[in-house]
Amino acid sequence: MADEASPSKVTQQPSNRRWLRLAIVAILVAAAVLLSKWLVLALLVVLGLWPLALLAGLLLLIVVSIFKGGWPWLKGWLGNRLGGLLVPALAVFTALLIGGLILMLTDQDVLLLLGDGQIGDALSVAIKNLGRAYGALYEGALGSPAKIVEALGQVGGEDGLRPLLRVVRGPSDTLVQSVPYIFAGLAVALGFRAGLFNIGGEGQIGIGWLVAVVAGFSFANLPAFIHLPLSILLGAIAAGLYASIAGILKARTGAHEVITTIMLNYVVYRLSEWLLCGPLEFTQGTCRTRDTLETAFLPRFLDHPVTVHWGFVLALVAAVAVGWFLFRTKWGFELRTVGANPNAARYSGMSVGKTFTLAMFLSGGLAGMGGAVQGLGITHNIALGFQSGYGFDAIALALLGKSHPAGVVAASLLFGMLRAGAARMQSVASVPTEIVQIVQALVIVFIAAPAIIQALYRLREMRGEAVPTAVFTRGWGK
């Protein structure tokens, strides 16, 4: 009897462990939700004090390395995890350097001094103005470490958290700006993995934004826990179905997705222009819809001026979900196989056409979710001229992040910093925000052509560093 019962006990043990893990995860998620306000505030402080956080992390690694084998272990650990970041980091640094040179050479004060032959004074003024501009860019993106430390000492006083909330506005704006970048970057990265170049992110964001906002003010008398998820879901589905048009055309006719998605962008532009200035216009002459109901608002974690909302958490969840889908599921394996070699995938029995359609649906759904989060978390409406360039910047994010969800999140945070700091740079240093766009464009160039960075810094070409160029060439002229 004991021998007969033993197999059942063995099979029950993995099941029990699985339920135990799920229970632990559920408890941790519930605790995170209950403590979300303080967790987000801690995250903002860590972002503002990132040099100290980085130093603490390095010290912790050094301590761990003592028990793991010393310097050889630490060198190998850093090489395995950070080796692939060298070229992207140098690309960003070089772009900032060239942007700084452009800023210096276009400064009117510097040009006047150079015209008078005062080269030394011109160089001094150029360096001073450059430091002021990039200093404002940094503070607008990550805040002032000195002010954050000072505000931490005032917590608990009669003003409560207000002094701290004022000085973490920069990190807060960075996270808010990074949310649509994360969604759009994931959309393009997923398409790259399937061998598709989804350049229609801008239109898909617009579809998701429009549908989510319409759902946000149309469904009255719904509780928030139904109304809000429903609005986001409808926006994502609408954008996914819209993007599927390009996938179906690719599967049935071989039409290249670059052409079809670009054309679909223009369809969205003209369609939204008619709707926002016609049937959906709330106040005549504004070309803007009415505001969504409060039950469709994405809640914020903290009081004004901190504007971080639950859309940031949703973006991180989407990144984890995309990573799980791509690398842990059968469908993700088929998608990546089709992207790597459609002919081999077809020979092995995979449906290439269905995979293309599914990939475009998921890609469009992610982009549409980014638009829905913008509409329900920031603007609470949609107006004519809603295009902000997120869909096109997402191409750079996917390249910079090497089409991996974790890399896309990191790249999105970087672009969020640049966009958040650009406004302060313009107001404090009178530097046009186009400088940031130049930096972003240079990052795209250096990431798309890593040989430039390798030649500039005399780097050896690393294995596994190749950008999936087949995505850009497959299907052209066929």
Render each residue's pLDDT in the chain as its tens digit; 478 residues: 445 555 555 556 666 787 888 888 889 888 888 888 899 999 999 999 988 888 988 898 888 888 887 888 888 887 777 767 788 888 888 998 998 898 888 888 888 888 888 888 888 888 988 899 999 999 999 999 999 999 988 887 777 888 899 999 999 999 999 999 999 999 999 999 999 999 999 999 999 999 999 999 999 889 999 999 999 999 999 999 999 999 999 999 989 999 999 999 999 999 999 999 999 998 888 899 999 999 999 999 988 889 999 999 999 999 999 999 999 999 999 999 999 999 999 998 999 999 999 999 999 999 999 999 999 999 999 998 888 889 888 988 998 888 999 999 999 999 999 999 988 888 888 888 888 888 888 888 888 788 888 888 887 765 544 444 455 545 443 3
Q: Is residue 202 part of a domain?
A: yes
Asked whether residue 44 is domain-assigned, the answer is no
Q: Would you say 242 and 204 are in contact if contact means Cβ atoms under 8 Å apart?
A: yes
Helix axes 352-374, 330-340, angle to 10 degrees: 110
Asked if residue 190 lies in contact with residue 322, where contact means CB atoms within 8 angstroms, the answer is yes
Token look-up 């008078």 returns 116
- List phi, psi (to 5°) of 48: -70, -30
3-state DSSP assignment of residue 306: coil
- Tell me which H or E stretch contains 265: helix 257-276
| pTM, to two decimals | 0.89
Residue 25 CB-density burial (10 A; 0-12 exposed, 13-18 middle, 19+ buried): exposed
**In whole angstroms, what is the distance from residue 294 CA to residue 262 CA?**
35
Tell me: cis bond preceding 305? Omega within 30 of 0 counts.
Answer: yes
| Number of domains, the chain | 1
DSSP letters for 411-432: HHHHHHHHHHHHHHHHHHH---
Please indicate, yes or no, if residue 4 is contained in any of the structural domains.
Answer: no
In a domain, 71, yes or no: no
Segments forming the whole domain that contains residue 208 = 170-473
CATH number at residue 322: 1.10.3470
Residue 54 lies in a domain: no
- Burial of residue 439 (CB within 10 Å: 0-12, 13-18, 19+) is buried
Structure tokens at 178: 């990074």
Distance in angstroms between the alpha carbons of the first and the last residue of the chain: 69
State how far the Cα of 231 lies from the Cα of 150, in Å rounded to an integer.
Answer: 41
Residues 235/368, Cβ–Cβ less than 8 Å: yes
- 436 located within any domain: yes
23 found inside a domain: no
**Tokens 């969840």 identify what position?**
317
